Structure 1
């Protein structure tokens, strides 16, 4: 400990001298990041991970033991400091949470288990330097096909004299059995009627429903074909913190249809007009689910100065189609076939019979997430030609026009806080192999990681258990992410710039002063002037 302290002090002194004198030249660190590794070794290490999984599935204790340097290696999930402290206070002063038996107990458990066991690995990363290596991954441990534990796991391995790789330590975090899916229903009667219809283009209006007060304003954009009601378990939980607005895109919910295609660019243009005409002022924290994630990401690219942060809930990605089609070429033809079948949805409802395949495909069945009253309204809306046209238009454009619009968007998002939530890895369908599904799951995570890297303050989280609708399966996970981004944005430099501009604007409007000025950062008299001022005075150069 004294050595570490001395080293810290010497480093601090060196840093001070360099800062004061400005003459010291940092020594080269060419060795950093240079490892001795080979593809054959990495393949052998990955084979160890596969053999480990196979040993568990087959309950082969001998095979498992053969993968380890010895049964007494470090093999532990260290408990929390608070738990260690409690055990020590309860009469175990030497307790440190590390099992002295090492892996022996686990080997015995595997060999004698009466139920099916399995460990799944995700995001495997191998780092090798000569005869030592590290493997890390996300894991799920299953008993009887049910997740009993999950977390992050890390191994250390070494290459033995016979050329084989052996595990000599295993450490993992532990979260226990994950929570079950939420069974809550959306019942707010506000989702059964239009709340506020705001003109965005001539007489064409969009419906928006805002609750709560405060800044930044959280703006919720639903998935493909969905409306504001999709956020019914999240909106009431965020409203006590800040103003929260869910809206219906053109032709969906209670919004008027548009004669424009349902592309992300047109949707972003509509949303920007809606917020401006409704006098809902920046800064915004944008929250998008699925296709809505593409829309809010394009909004943030287009109107960066107005966006304080983003939360993307299992978002679609502009490159997801190519990722999926490369892994599963047949899915491209299936996608086209589904799109063609949707064209039938544009026909008159006169030919529909409730319960028929056409009815199920175009209207859908009652959702257990909604009350009977809300389901009844949703069925009536789904039968409207405008709803069906809007839904089909969004699907027609998501993989082509909308995706290209996202690829063409550029410009820095600065360091705005971004959280990406990913559903738990899906299981194979009837036509998928396990390898194909694993590749798709890993591709999905890779695309979500890419979104998180758009900002140095970006992060991605996997929500277990959950399906695609995380905001309904695990609403508390979405609420926590939004709260985190809202609070982070309030502490940011950009937010303070927004606050100064808003105070100036409110002062002018309250005093009815509309005097001309040459100051580009002076209060504006109109919504358009005010937005232009926000862009110029709290622009991309202002980091969060």
Structure 2
């Protein structure tokens, strides 16, 4: 994608999206991500990388967005770990995790997550926090296993069919999504043919460049991970599943969640780019309608509009931390 539509890039085209953010006052060292947390075998010969910090209950499970590893939660997990046991993991094919069976649909991801929680001996009920595509995963998990979920925090979640809804308002969005998918396919094809070096991959936007907040060693390690065929294949499959298999699987499992606490964090700056000026008001209204529909899955659901870009946990991590703290407080009555 050539135009600066960072929101769409993060949602649907994370092979092309950068993990870099502006430097700020946070001084957390990220070099702990140079090594896996704990590699948990969820099936014969197949392991997922799990990083748990802190202690106490309920356990918080962090589910990253499309093609993002557990590193996505680097500014959120340490703060939550001071309150309760908090775990993030790399989905199959990403980060330090082994690849999984294709396609990487919502059903497949939830199957992996359920197996991971059992194999890691992590007791529920859980507070599930899902960013973007991760919002599909944690909703499907809650639909399947409501007794195992203490609450949901959806971080600017992807809603099935939202690209079509937005494209109906602004046709350029549909054109950009299709262009991005073509570019993503070109990247995957070049890697399969052995015709893509790391330098070419960065130049063509197939993988993210260096993050100025990371050490050179961490940036080098991330580049090696992103150049793995398994990463490209997993990311491509996650893209293709958003509005196809995922939509059908979630629709089949959908149920009202009763009084389950549910908070939707909606990014207010998704349509700040000048290219959206003509349709900005209508696009924002549609976003709030879609996110309101997710909040309505619970009698206690709410939407919080956050002054942030799509990846809220990087742009405004304190807002995510606050929402999860509120959820923990609701799950600990009398404390």
Normalised to the residue count of structure 1, the TM-score between the two structures is: 0.54
Secondary structure of the residue aligned to 1:450 is: helix
Which residue in the other structure is 2:42 paired with?
A: 200
Which residue in the other structure is 2:278 paired with?
A: 435
Secondary structure of the residue aligned to 1:476 is: helix
Matches within 5 A, 1:422-501: 422-427=266-271, 429=273, 431-432=275-276, 434-464=277-307, 466-491=308-333
Which residue in the other structure is 1:420 paired with?
A: 264
How far off its partner does 1:184 sit?
A: 2.8
How far off its partner does 1:182 sit?
A: 5.0
State the Cα deviation string for residues 359-405 of structure 1 (Å, max 9, x = none). Answer: 44222111234333322211110010001110111011112211222
Which of 96, 99, 112 is residue 270 of structure 1 equivalent to?
A: 112
Question: Using the alignment, how far apart are the partners of 2:250 and 2:220 within structure 1?
Answer: 36
Secondary structure of the residue aligned to 2:62 is: strand
* Native 8 Å contact 1:309 1:416 kept in 2: yes
Question: Using the alignment, how far apart are the partners of 1:352 and 1:260 within structure 2?
Answer: 23
Question: Using the alignment, how far apart are the partners of 1:410 and 1:390 within structure 2?
Answer: 25
Question: Using the alignment, how far apart are the partners of 2:292 and 2:81 within structure 1?
Answer: 29
Which residue in the other structure is 1:336 paired with?
A: 178
Are 2:208 and 1:382 aligned?
no
State the Cα deviation string for residues 48-96 of structure 1 (Å, max 9, x = none). Answer: xxxxxxxxxxxxxxxxxxxxxxxxxxxxxxxxxxxxxxxxxxxxxxxxx
Q: CA 1:269–1:353 in structure 2 vs 1: closer, same or farther (change >3 Å)? A: closer
Which residue in the other structure is 2:122 paired with?
A: 280
Which residue in the other structure is 2:236 paired with?
A: 392
Question: Using the alignment, how far apart are the partners of 2:167 and 2:208 within structure 1?
Answer: 27
Which residue in the other structure is 1:520 paired with?
A: none
Matches within 5 A, 1:290-305: 290-305=132-147
Which residue in the other structure is 1:364 paired with?
A: 208
Q: Relative contact order (C-alpha < 8 Å, sep 6+): which is higher?
A: 2
* Native 8 Å contact 2:30 2:214 kept in 1: no
State which structure, 1 or 2, has the greater radius of gyration over its C-alpha atoms. Answer: 1
How far off its partner does 1:406 sit?
A: 2.0
Which residue in the other structure is 1:410 paired with?
A: 254
Secondary structure of the residue aligned to 1:351 is: coil
Question: Using the alignment, how far apart are the partners of 1:342 and 1:185 within structure 2?
Answer: 34
Instruction: Name the count of aligned residue pairs.
Output: 312
Are 2:89 and 1:247 aligned?
yes
Matches within 5 A, 1:121-270: 182-184=24-26, 187-270=29-112
480-489 or 343-352, larger mean C-alpha shift: 343-352
Which residue in the other structure is 1:93 paired with?
A: none
Q: CA 1:192–1:247 in structure 2 vs 1: closer, same or farther (change >3 Å)? A: same
State the Cα deviation string for residues 246-268 of structure 1 (Å, max 9, x = none). Answer: 00000000000012211111101
Question: Using the alignment, how far apart are the partners of 1:250 and 1:363 within structure 2?
Answer: 18
